[in-house]
Structure 1
């Protein structure tokens, strides 16, 4: 009887371990992204939420695996502020962490002109484009706890004269904001910090005041409060 009990316990533990090993990872899902950039660089910003599997703010520097398609896309985006998004295949978002055991360096996605969950349309010619992750510029897990910050802090994205400001999500509720601007070649790359008024969009004038007189703000690429309430 003891032998039977031991075998039963062993089998239960084996089945439990097997079940855990094949459980869906907490960050597995369809991780939509805002796509932006131009000839000097191509970037993707994950659309975060305060719950799994989307509870990470992620900004990537990317390129398309096909050089011809990559050049074409950069040309289409260059100097414009129209909204483009990516609808990727499902993957585990945590694998983008630099220290992940099996880091994700490529995924496939549909390139969409507009918002992929709203009125966006798949851009002809790209199909399920292979997206190469060149650099992880920002990856931070979001806390679901209510929080408030008196200032809005923007990450600068881009190494040349064509740059972007991506607001860091640091409050709940908060807002997503991506702004395009043209920079002097030697402008600093540090964060831009401005006063914040709840979840109202940061005025362009406030950003311009922090960037300096030589900066040319090209406009907002994306603003939303829907997903980070």
Structure 2
């Protein structure tokens, strides 16, 4: 299997392009989804060049790869390791911002079953993905000690309001924080675009806490939780 470089590597910001700091580096991303479609979430940190939470809908240019990825993610959904990741070739993350004058909507990625830095297995290389819709482009502050909000805000992701499978992504604010993404199964009613819960005393809400504010019979399963990279 070809070696995969560390997510933490990559050049630091080299300057400004208008109001968009350059974020050139190797930007690994969580890949998740269901039969309804696929999403990616950049694995963020509170240091350059990775200080942005970026979440978007995507599709593979090759429909056969799209079908195989969806099949693989669905097969992993109820396992002890539901994580899949993609690793784009080195690029400037700020170019995914829809407000950037040189905004891009395609990436070339390797697809890894598991976390690409933590024993994941390469599945496909050099695949083209289309960025179909940016759901969140959230620059993260570099400062420490900023006052945090009293609530966590979970962004709801779906393709259609009546999708039976949907996802919640904890919206990051300032360090320390929690990159927390969960899968919702058996969704029986449209959900609010943002689910708000009290944050105290933790940086994220447990699956049981999330379940308590969702429609009855909704199953909540953790896909990803990262605390160490966001201290």
1:128 equivalent to 2:126? Answer: yes
CA RMSD, Structure 1 to Structure 2 (Å): 2.1
Measure, in 2, the Cα distance between the counterparts of 1:176 and 1:20: 27
Unaligned runs of 5+ residues in structure 1 are 1-18
Matched ranges for 1:180-195 at <5 A: 180-184=183-187, 186-195=189-198
Partner of 1:71: 67
Pick closer, same or farther for the CA change 1:20–1:188 going to 2, 3 Å: closer
The Cα of 1:46 is off from its aligned counterpart by 0.4
The Cα of 1:200 is off from its aligned counterpart by 5.3
* CA displacement 1:173-223 (0-9 Å, x = unmatched): 111100001253541232111222454552211101111213222x11100
Partner of 2:51: 55
* CA displacement 1:95-120 (0-9 Å, x = unmatched): 11112112111111111111111211
The Cα of 1:38 is off from its aligned counterpart by 1.5
Measure, in 2, the Cα distance between the counterparts of 1:63 and 1:189: 25
* CA displacement 1:95-148 (0-9 Å, x = unmatched): 11112112111111111111111211112xx22111111010000111123232
Structure 1 length normalisation: TM-score? 0.83
**Structure 1 runs (4+) greater than 3 angstroms displaced:** 183-186, 197-201
Measure, in 2, the Cα distance between the counterparts of 1:135 and 1:211: 25
Pick closer, same or farther for the CA change 1:20–1:181 going to 2, 3 Å: closer
Structure with bigger helix share is 1
The Cα of 1:149 is off from its aligned counterpart by 2.7
Partner of 1:33: 29
Partner of 1:139: 137
Alignment partner of 1:206 out of 194, 206, 209: 209
1:163 equivalent to 2:166? Answer: yes
Partner of 1:228: 230
Contact 1:154 1:168 survives alignment (8 Å): yes
Structure 2 length normalisation: TM-score? 0.82
Matched ranges for 1:41-120 at <5 A: 41-78=37-74, 80-81=77-78, 82-120=82-120
Contact 2:30 2:42 survives alignment (8 Å): yes
Bigger Cα Rg: 1
Alignment partner of 2:176 out of 173, 178, 184: 173
